[in-house]
Structure 1
């Protein structure tokens, strides 16, 4: 939700993104009502989802579902850890990246950035292990703290959207014709948003040298336009209509069905996108609805709390996702900026 939803909205468009969200909501809602039916069909003890399924459907189904549930949680944990490292190294503390900020794009199997994910991810995993090893009460102590952090983060998103609509944003992006350019290609790494537009012109020797000699997607040096535009124009800008249609792209493209990118200069799509590929990326964000059921042994009245809490959580998160889709689609520039996850 925090790292990929704005990119998903840009790729799928607001219309298809809402359709995809309703499909995911339908799947999770069916799971919620099935879980609620099982929870109200007898005495619920400790053991969570596995206990309920194995006692109601038999040990065969319980074992099969339990193995899948374990593997799913393991994959989800790995995904969350990698996402945490990405936020930390790209946005919060890029200076502590092993190898420097220059390796942020080196994300191959043996790339330096991939090794950063492994090193810092292992550290985070050890911290999680320590928290879990200290016992359920310690985990429960951190649960409300984590919930408060999530709520503050969601509120901060909406506050930022409102702020960008009221106060003009300093965030700018540079376009060569309709191609989004990477700021590090024509300006220093430590450049501020206020100074970016001063580099986005034909008086910048570094930019001109790249355009004329190194860019594989440009036929010549002339007849091109450089523009510096707002990345977050706000609700009043009318970008909602521009973000309604989908813009699926292939890996390496800088615009739908147009150019194969010069990776040194232009921001490019790093994966071929289709409706189901993007849906697969998005779907893990809606799969946390089992949390309440997994705490069945700690609930005072699980037969009542599990159905109410699970369905309420599913409906609440669904509404938040829809609101975020509409908010992102209404405020962020829809020309090309939505398509690229790693610009800022």
Structure 2
């Protein structure tokens, strides 16, 4: 390759011995370009900068240490002469975005290069806000206890805990009931570990389960699962509300105070209840969190009330219903299964109990409202699974040690201990339930009375309050989760005609339109 012509240099600068060969831009005062290429191994010794003090060439080229021509600055300057504002190059986020921003406004215009003082533009203060006006308040953020653990525990606990778990214990026995609980928890724990792995593998934004799935498995799976998950949570609002309404209806029926009739009372109470829950949700996440804490305290009080009731000596009325406090022989009899009815099978009872172990995604669904989702989601979810599992195991073991399977509830069935015409475990405690057991007409006992937990407790109305807290907290959690997930799905615009519901309001970007849609779906299923 032919060498470029070398300009004639003064004799003192023509030879600078050194290790580097340097090319630089030498130009006249008018900015003309003139290349320089060393010949005969000439160069500048950058290892001895003291030798360069008298060399204009070495002084101008020392520090480049390259054989490439230095780029001309004027080729990269942002000129605005002639009214050309210039167009910024799109960033990687702009290229990946499915939105269609104005190509002429991908970035803010570069500041005028003539402004060398570094001061902001005159209109920057007005752009940020009016002078003297307070800045916008920070959004509410929750930690792992208040934002994830309590929320998941409330969503896991439900009406099955109070009404069905004692009946499952009577059917499957304490041993198989524990096995059913542990099998269900194993499934939810694996799911919780998977969610924890995804949430700790990158930045987690709002969108909850949909965000985690779509960013890990792709928008195809995430979009389909997210849409179904949001709809399922909206329907779950109706289901939990109906459970609450049925409990209230039973109380009204017990006191002969029905509003219209048993069926329409459920609809009326359900619509009023879900409307109140909607008002709590629209008030903001801070008020919703306060309501959840209130429900949590009510459930804890109901648990303590139940445990205290198991150690209180049984009254005659409670004994007639099958409660005799802690007895080793009652524990031994209830330890083994006693299948009854069409649902009397292991997997039949497993299918009944398993829904009470779900609900572990309630904390992850509000990932956008957490201070540190990467820490809060794994820690809060796994702790919620642990504590709810312990509550299920303790409840099944304690009530299986105190209450017999069959009891008549009649005070006339008391007998003298040791009677020969009495059969069954209750005979040793002075009660003869043989007649109702043989005729299968017993109204009380673990196998027949769903309100056994209320009967055992120290104060029955507190158990009813616990049922209210469990159902309302689960309904409120689903009412918040469904719009949050659906909002993120709408913002990604994976489906047409749903972007209307993606708009957020307030400092927490509340999906008010999503709340209204969830409310309409819940009311529709309540009225069916």
Tell me if 1:338 matches 2:484.
no
> Following TM superposition, by how much is the alpha carbon of 1:292 offset from its aligned partner in structure 2, in angstroms?
1.6
Note if contact 1:239-1:334 (Cα within 8 Å) is conserved in structure 2.
Answer: no
Note if contact 2:208-2:367 (Cα within 8 Å) is conserved in structure 1.
Answer: yes
Larger helix share, 1 or 2? 1
> Following TM superposition, by how much is the alpha carbon of 1:172 offset from its aligned partner in structure 2, in angstroms?
4.4
> Following TM superposition, by how much is the alpha carbon of 1:99 offset from its aligned partner in structure 2, in angstroms?
7.2
Cα distance, 1:62–1:169 mapped onto 2, change above 3 Å = farther
The one of 166, 170, 188 equivalent to 1:28 is 188
Note if contact 1:169-1:230 (Cα within 8 Å) is conserved in structure 2.
Answer: no
Cα distance, 1:75–1:241 mapped onto 2, change above 3 Å = farther
Cα distance, 1:342–1:146 mapped onto 2, change above 3 Å = closer
> Following TM superposition, by how much is the alpha carbon of 1:281 offset from its aligned partner in structure 2, in angstroms?
2.1
Tell me if 1:65 matches 2:225.
yes
Q: Deviations over 1:254-284 (max 9, x none)?
A: xxxxxxxxxxxxxxxxxx4432232222222
- Segments of 5+ residues of structure 2 without an aligned counterpart are 1-160, 408-444, 453-528
Tell me if 1:293 matches 2:364.
yes
The one of 303, 309, 321 equivalent to 1:160 is 309
1:97-246 matched pairs, under 5 angstroms: 97-98=257-258, 112-163=261-312, 167-172=313-318, 229-236=320-327, 238-246=329-337
> Following TM superposition, by how much is the alpha carbon of 1:310 offset from its aligned partner in structure 2, in angstroms?
0.7
Tell me if 1:40 matches 2:111.
no
- Using structure 1 for the length normalisation, give the TM-score: 0.68
Moved more, 88-97 or 30-39: 88-97
Aligned to 1:215: none
Tell me if 1:274 matches 2:345.
yes
Aligned to 1:87: 247
Aligned to 1:182: none
Note if contact 1:242-1:335 (Cα within 8 Å) is conserved in structure 2.
Answer: no
Q: Deviations over 1:190-235 (max 9, x none)?
A: xxxxxxxxxxxxxxxxxxxxxxxxxxxxxxxxxxxxxxx3421111
In the alignment, the residues of structure 2 paired with residue 157 and residue 71 of structure 1 have an alpha-carbon distance, to the nearest angstrom, of 36
The one of 373, 376, 379 equivalent to 1:305 is 376
In the alignment, the residues of structure 2 paired with residue 115 and residue 341 of structure 1 have an alpha-carbon distance, to the nearest angstrom, of 25
In the alignment, the residues of structure 1 paired with residue 398 and residue 406 of structure 2 have an alpha-carbon distance, to the nearest angstrom, of 16
List, as ranges, runs of 4+ consecutive aligned residues in structure 1 with deviation greater than 6 Å: none
The SS at the match of 2:338 is coil
Tell me if 1:249 matches 2:340.
yes
In the alignment, the residues of structure 2 paired with residue 10 and residue 76 of structure 1 have an alpha-carbon distance, to the nearest angstrom, of 28
In the alignment, the residues of structure 2 paired with residue 139 and residue 60 of structure 1 have an alpha-carbon distance, to the nearest angstrom, of 32
In the alignment, the residues of structure 2 paired with residue 75 and residue 169 of structure 1 have an alpha-carbon distance, to the nearest angstrom, of 43
Note if contact 1:53-1:62 (Cα within 8 Å) is conserved in structure 2.
Answer: yes
Cα distance, 1:76–1:145 mapped onto 2, change above 3 Å = same
Moved more, 72-81 or 306-315: 72-81
Cα distance, 1:87–1:160 mapped onto 2, change above 3 Å = farther
- Using structure 2 for the length normalisation, give the TM-score: 0.45
- Segments of 5+ residues of structure 1 without an aligned counterpart are 101-111, 174-228, 252-271
Aligned to 2:177: 17
- Aligned Cα RMSD in Å? 2.4
Note if contact 1:25-1:318 (Cα within 8 Å) is conserved in structure 2.
Answer: yes
Aligned to 2:154: none
Note if contact 2:208-2:364 (Cα within 8 Å) is conserved in structure 1.
Answer: yes
> Following TM superposition, by how much is the alpha carbon of 1:331 offset from its aligned partner in structure 2, in angstroms?
1.0
Number of residue pairs matched by the alignment: 255
The SS at the match of 1:2 is helix
The SS at the match of 1:330 is coil
The SS at the match of 1:76 is helix
Tell me if 1:51 matches 2:211.
yes
Cα distance, 1:94–1:290 mapped onto 2, change above 3 Å = same
Cα distance, 1:58–1:316 mapped onto 2, change above 3 Å = same
> Following TM superposition, by how much is the alpha carbon of 1:294 offset from its aligned partner in structure 2, in angstroms?
1.7
> Following TM superposition, by how much is the alpha carbon of 1:145 offset from its aligned partner in structure 2, in angstroms?
1.2
> Following TM superposition, by how much is the alpha carbon of 1:246 offset from its aligned partner in structure 2, in angstroms?
2.0
